[in-house]
A and B are shown apart, each in its own frame.
Chain A
Amino acid sequence: MSTLSMDQPGQADGAPAPPIHETATHAHHFRDRDHEFDAAKMGVWLFLATEVLLFSGLFMYYAAMRYLHPEAFRHGSSLLDWRWGLINTAVLLMSSFTAAAAVRDAQLGRQGWLKLNLLLTCLAGLAFLVIKFVFEYYPKWLAGELPGKYYTYPNWEDPNEVHWWGLYWAATGVHATHVLIGIGLYAWMFVRAFLGYYGPKRYMMVEGTALYWHIVDIVWIFLFPMLYLIH
């Protein structure tokens, strides 16, 4: 793919129209693009604050349930395989790196690298979900390690172990939904990168989505030890 050649400026040789990222203007209620960029970035940070508060509810859920049923949590978490969690942690950390690199590429106008890093981030997100579903959700589904009234797992040690699975599915489910949204955003940006949307003058979406991706990553950094490592 010639479009993926590294370190080429976004403008193809001989093409008469400059790419969108060079000609696009700011919205009419901003003074200039700096102004718009600052506002958008502040909006993203505020949005991240709402995300932290959303997940804080799940962490409170964990704290309260663990306080009420410590034995159930101890045995429940021992039923998770920390190796899959570790692999997924590595996958997400790597994708955070490519997400950050994509921002840098957009700022410097390295179109080829930008596309590659957007694609890698998107694929890493997909890999996370595939590992999650194939090696964790599906076997647990078969074993009956399900929340609430669907819980049929026979080998429990503590009668309240069902609470552990309620928490596990709720917390990882909400997180996986965020990963799914991130994958969609990265796929969308990957397509738009081919249309020349992003460049040194226009990279807010790349940066904003990367910030979102990092917060999803950070939430997992907390979920991983809480669910897999602490017994």
Chain B
Amino acid sequence: MASIPRPTDEPHAHPHDHDHAHDGPYLATKGGIVATVIDWATTVDHKKIGVMYLFAVLFMFFLGGLAALAVRVELFEPTRTLEVYNAATGQSTTSVAGQVFAQSATDVAAGNQVYNRVFTLHGLIMVFLVIVPMVPASLGNFLLPLMLGAKDVAFPRLNLLSWYIYVVGSMFALVSALAGGVDTGWTFYTPYSTTTEPGHWKVVSMVAAAFILGFSSILTGLNFVVTVHKLRAPGQGWFDMPLFVWGMYGTAIIQVLATPVIGITLLLLILERLFLIGIFDPRLSGDPVLFQHFFWFYSHPVVYVMILPGMAIISEVIAIYSRKKVFGYRAVAFSSLAIAAISFIVWGHHLFTSEGEVAATVFSALTFLVALPSAVKVFNWIGTLYKGSIELTTGMWYALGFLFLFSIGGLTGLFLGALSVDLHLHDTYFVVAHFHYVMMGGTVIAFMAGLHMWWPKMFGRMYNESLGKLGFWLVFVGFNLTFFPQFIMGVQGMPRRYASYQDEYLIYHQLSTVGAFTLLAGFLVHLVNFAQSLLYGRKAPPNPWGGLTLEWTDADSPPTTHNFAQEPVITHGPYDFDDVYPPQAKPGEFTLPPPLPGRRVVTVATPHARSE
């Protein structure tokens, strides 16, 4: 037997060493516009891919937001069919009031149809194009290698492929939307989705979009899992990783293990629609509940693909702006994995009204399990804040807003997880408010926290703190104004997905619409702030907030193409603020770590053994 040689090579052979001599900021342009565009379009740099994802996601967020505003405008007034009696002629005529989408007098049905398409478009864009990739693909791509002291993610070309798959998937969705949109709801529930507008390609195109986007998500997740396993800096054990990385790791595992199931589900849905093979449609003796199981087997875990990255961000933001070691590091880290694991066994709570009683009872009990790791995280964040040196930047305001809104979102989830209560609340605005408090109040708010905190790192420019805080308060007030009334009308019985309603809900709907426009104002303030920062912002120092993770201590703002001048070595934990900074240092007064050229290892004030 010949022995199998391992693919080793000589340690000194490092072909890229010469690159470091002229290693500029990753944002530096390479010649003219065409050259720059080609450079970005073919880049395998995780930072550039992250930035491209960031702007794509923000653009889609804008489109999805427009659809949401359209929904709120339609709901500002209920649709009323009026009998107008004309005394002069003795005739009564019928007219419709309060209908925005189909102004043409009497055709309520057409208006409702448009309404169905608009809210479906909102849901599809926000779920598949915005919230799923929002944090992992943008901030995650940018930060994960930096936090691990790596030069890139494990598979840079796969990363670029993932970006292009995202673009192609977006095209399928936008083409379908431009062709008139679909009215299936974002869940594509059968048999409606297989029979609505028979023969039209746009439903297939929309389903195909979600199918394609799934591959983008899988590739990102796969890349992240391998990166975390294989590319940690020397000296960085699993429990020396920043909690952001732990959150991303949990997210990536769900992306890898759950997304293939939606892939095959949507493929079968397309086959059902094209060939009527009879798997999901009861009229063809298929089983519609089977679709619901398939769909939620992915789509419930993916809820945690949406929220875990938000939690990951909050762990970092709260630690840095409290300048305090995260309370219960291991508990927070393991709770990410616990959430990822539990997420796979609770899908049945979306089927309480369509599955058997025993299954519903079991799934209800399992659902309450998710509350445990989520609460562990919230209590640990509060424990971190306690006696911290809190610095109320925009990012910190958003993090505090997250604690408030996510707690409401999480606690109302318990109502929905309880079988008896859910039968009353099922398909009402209570559900809508609940998941917006988690998805938007949780993920989007956390994303805004992270975006503000890492903005100087990503673009090398500071943003205007006053404008940021103004934006935060508009968003925070607008958000609560939009969604809190929906809890109340949900409990009172207002069903979701209707273009009209009884007069008793009028005040809540009007408050909600006003809130939606307040939200718009808040996000526009942020848009102005970011644009102003890119154009005129003060140049950012490498470590404006005094963070201790590698992207702050060892990389420039913005980082260089190869991230670090030399491979960083971990000399302290990610949150050892007490050890690294002298105790008298106040926010804004810290001097460590210094932004020196070349190797930048943080000097540790007092020798210590790492407590982990």
Q: Point out residues on A near B: beta carbons under 8 Å.
A: 25-30, 32-35, 37-40, 42-43, 46-47, 49-51, 53-58, 60-61, 64-65, 68-69, 104, 107-108, 147-150, 160, 162-163, 166-167, 169-170, 174, 200-204
Q: Which residues of B are found within 8 Å of A58, using beta-carbon distances?
A: 264
Whether A46 and B277, one on each chain, are in contact in the complex, defined by CB atoms closer than 8 angstroms, is no
CA distance A93 to B459 in the complex (A): 54
A and B contact pairs by CB, cutoff 8 A, 22 listed: A28-B152, A29-B145, A32-B8, A34-B6, A39-B226, A39-B229, A39-B230, A39-B231, A42-B226, A46-B225, A54-B263, A57-B260, A57-B294, A60-B290, A68-B285, A108-B2, A148-B276, A163-B278, A163-B286, A169-B277, A174-B267, A201-B5
CA distance A28 to B152 in the complex (A): 9
Which of these, A32, A40, A108, contacts B11 with CB under 8 Å?
A32
Whether B260 and A107, one on each chain, are in contact in the complex, defined by CB atoms closer than 8 angstroms, is no
B162 to chain A, nearest CB (A): 13
Whether A149 and B276, one on each chain, are in contact in the complex, defined by CB atoms closer than 8 angstroms, is yes
- CB nearest neighbor in B for A52: B260
CA distance A192 to B277 in the complex (A): 42
Q: Write the B226-246 contact mask toward A (1 if CB under 8 angstroms, else 0).
A: 100111000000000000000
| Other A-B pairs beyond A28-B152, A42-B226, 17, CB < 8 Å | A26-B9, A32-B11, A40-B155, A46-B256, A53-B257, A54-B260, A54-B264, A61-B268, A61-B290, A68-B285, A107-B5, A147-B275, A149-B275, A163-B279, A166-B271, A166-B275, A170-B277
Which of these, A27, A47, A68, contacts B222 with CB under 8 Å?
A47
- Does chain A have a CB within 8 A of B154? yes
Q: Which residues of A are found within 8 Å of B285, using beta-carbon distances?
A: 68-69, 160, 163
- Does chain A have a CB within 8 A of B150? yes
Q: Which residues of A are found within 8 Å of B225, using beta-carbon distances?
A: 42, 46
CA distance A204 to B218 in the complex (A): 21
Instruction: List B182-213 residues whose CB lies under 8 Å from chain A.
Output: none
Instruction: List B500-557 residues whose CB lies under 8 Å from chain A.
Output: none
CA distance A167 to B265 in the complex (A): 13
Q: Write the B146-167 contact mask toward A (1 if CB under 8 angstroms, else 0).
A: 0000111111101000000000
Whether B9 and A43, one on each chain, are in contact in the complex, defined by CB atoms closer than 8 angstroms, is no
Whether B287 and A64, one on each chain, are in contact in the complex, defined by CB atoms closer than 8 angstroms, is yes
Whether B150 and A64, one on each chain, are in contact in the complex, defined by CB atoms closer than 8 angstroms, is no
Q: Which residues of B are found within 8 Å of A46, using beta-carbon distances?
A: 222, 225-226, 256
Which of these, B7, B152, B272, B274, contacts A34 with CB under 8 Å?
B7
Whether A54 and B7, one on each chain, are in contact in the complex, defined by CB atoms closer than 8 angstroms, is no
- CB nearest neighbor in A for B219: A47
CA distance A60 to B150 in the complex (A): 41
Q: Point out residues on B near A: beta carbons under 8 Å.
A: 2, 4-9, 11, 13, 15-16, 19, 145, 150-156, 158, 218, 222-223, 225-226, 229-231, 256-261, 263-265, 267-268, 271-272, 274-279, 284-287, 290, 294, 562
Whether A43 and B257, one on each chain, are in contact in the complex, defined by CB atoms closer than 8 angstroms, is no
Q: Which residues of A are found within 8 Å of B150, using beta-carbon distances?
A: 29
Whether A50 and B5, one on each chain, are in contact in the complex, defined by CB atoms closer than 8 angstroms, is no
Which 9 interchain pairs have the tightest Cβ spacing? A166-B277, A57-B264, A148-B275, A29-B151, A53-B260, A28-B16, A148-B276, A54-B260, A148-B277
Whether B261 and A107, one on each chain, are in contact in the complex, defined by CB atoms closer than 8 angstroms, is no
- CB nearest neighbor in A for B8: A34
B439 to chain A, nearest CB (A): 24
CA distance A167 to B259 in the complex (A): 21
Whether A150 and B275, one on each chain, are in contact in the complex, defined by CB atoms closer than 8 angstroms, is yes
Whether B226 and A50, one on each chain, are in contact in the complex, defined by CB atoms closer than 8 angstroms, is no
Given contacts A32-B9, A46-B256, contact A61 B4 (CB under 8 A): no
CA distance A204 to B7 in the complex (A): 9
Whether B271 and A170, one on each chain, are in contact in the complex, defined by CB atoms closer than 8 angstroms, is yes
CA distance A42 to B224 in the complex (A): 11
Q: Which residues of B are found within 8 Å of A51, using beta-carbon distances?
A: 260
A56 to chain B, nearest CB (A): 7
Whether B268 and A170, one on each chain, are in contact in the complex, defined by CB atoms closer than 8 angstroms, is yes
CA distance A40 to B155 in the complex (A): 8
Which of these, A57, A169, A200, contacts B7 with CB under 8 Å?
A200
- CB nearest neighbor in A for B293: A60
- CB nearest neighbor in B for A36: B7
Q: Which residues of A are found within 8 Å of B268, using beta-carbon distances?
A: 57, 61, 170
- CB nearest neighbor in A for B215: A50
Q: Which residues of B are found within 8 Å of A64, using beta-carbon distances?
A: 287, 290
A107 to chain B, nearest CB (A): 5
Whether B7 and A42, one on each chain, are in contact in the complex, defined by CB atoms closer than 8 angstroms, is no
Whether B278 and A202, one on each chain, are in contact in the complex, defined by CB atoms closer than 8 angstroms, is no
Whether B261 and A53, one on each chain, are in contact in the complex, defined by CB atoms closer than 8 angstroms, is yes
Residue among B7, B256, B263, B285 facing the most chain A CB atoms (10 A cut-off): B7
- CB nearest neighbor in B for A58: B264
B19 to chain A, nearest CB (A): 7
Q: Which residues of A are found within 8 Å of B277, using beta-carbon distances?
A: 147-148, 162-163, 166-167, 169-170
Q: Which residues of A are found within 8 Å of B7, using beta-carbon distances?
A: 33-34, 37, 200-204
CA distance A65 to B8 in the complex (A): 51
B165 to chain A, nearest CB (A): 14
Which of these, A42, A55, A204, contacts B230 with CB under 8 Å?
A42
Q: Which residues of A are found within 8 Å of B279, using beta-carbon distances?
A: 61, 65, 163, 166-167
Whether A57 and B9, one on each chain, are in contact in the complex, defined by CB atoms closer than 8 angstroms, is no
Q: Which residues of B are found within 8 Å of A163, using beta-carbon distances?
A: 277-279, 285-286
Q: Which residues of A are found within 8 Å of B229, using beta-carbon distances?
A: 39, 42
CA distance A57 to B269 in the complex (A): 12
CA distance A94 to B506 in the complex (A): 71
Q: Which residues of A are found within 8 Å of B4, using beta-carbon distances?
A: 104, 107-108, 200
Given contacts A51-B260, A53-B260, contact A68 B287 (CB under 8 A): yes
CA distance A200 to B268 in the complex (A): 43
CA distance A201 to B261 in the complex (A): 36
CA distance A166 to B538 in the complex (A): 63
Q: Which residues of B are found within 8 Å of A169, using beta-carbon distances?
A: 277
Q: Which residues of A are found within 8 Å of B11, using beta-carbon distances?
A: 32
Given contacts A39-B226, A147-B275, contact A25 B9 (CB under 8 A): yes
Q: Which residues of A are found within 8 Å of B278, using beta-carbon distances?
A: 148, 160, 162-163, 166
Q: Which residues of A are found within 8 Å of B13, using beta-carbon distances?
A: 25
- CB nearest neighbor in A for B155: A43
B346 to chain A, nearest CB (A): 17
Q: Which residues of B are found within 8 Å of A49, using beta-carbon distances?
A: 256-257
B26 to chain A, nearest CB (A): 14
Q: Which residues of B are found within 8 Å of A108, using beta-carbon distances?
A: 2, 4
Whether A56 and B6, one on each chain, are in contact in the complex, defined by CB atoms closer than 8 angstroms, is no
- CB nearest neighbor in A for B158: A43
Given contacts A50-B256, A61-B268, A174-B267, contact A27 B156 (CB under 8 A): yes
Q: Which residues of B are found within 8 Å of A149, using beta-carbon distances?
A: 275-276
CA distance A147 to B294 in the complex (A): 21
- CB nearest neighbor in B for A200: B5
Q: Which residues of B are found within 8 Å of A27, using beta-carbon distances?
A: 152, 156
Whether A50 and B230, one on each chain, are in contact in the complex, defined by CB atoms closer than 8 angstroms, is no
Residue among A26, A27, A38, A53 facing the most chain B CB atoms (10 A cut-off): A53
Q: Which residues of B are found within 8 Å of A150, using beta-carbon distances?
A: 275
B273 to chain A, nearest CB (A): 10
- CB nearest neighbor in B for A47: B222
Q: Which residues of A are found within 8 Å of B226, using beta-carbon distances?
A: 39, 42-43, 46
CA distance A202 to B145 in the complex (A): 25
Given contacts A28-B16, A166-B279, contact A35 B287 (CB under 8 A): no
- CB nearest neighbor in B for A51: B260
Q: Which residues of A are found within 8 Å of B151, using beta-carbon distances?
A: 28-29
- CB nearest neighbor in B for A35: B230
Whether B19 and A28, one on each chain, are in contact in the complex, defined by CB atoms closer than 8 angstroms, is yes
A196 to chain B, nearest CB (A): 15
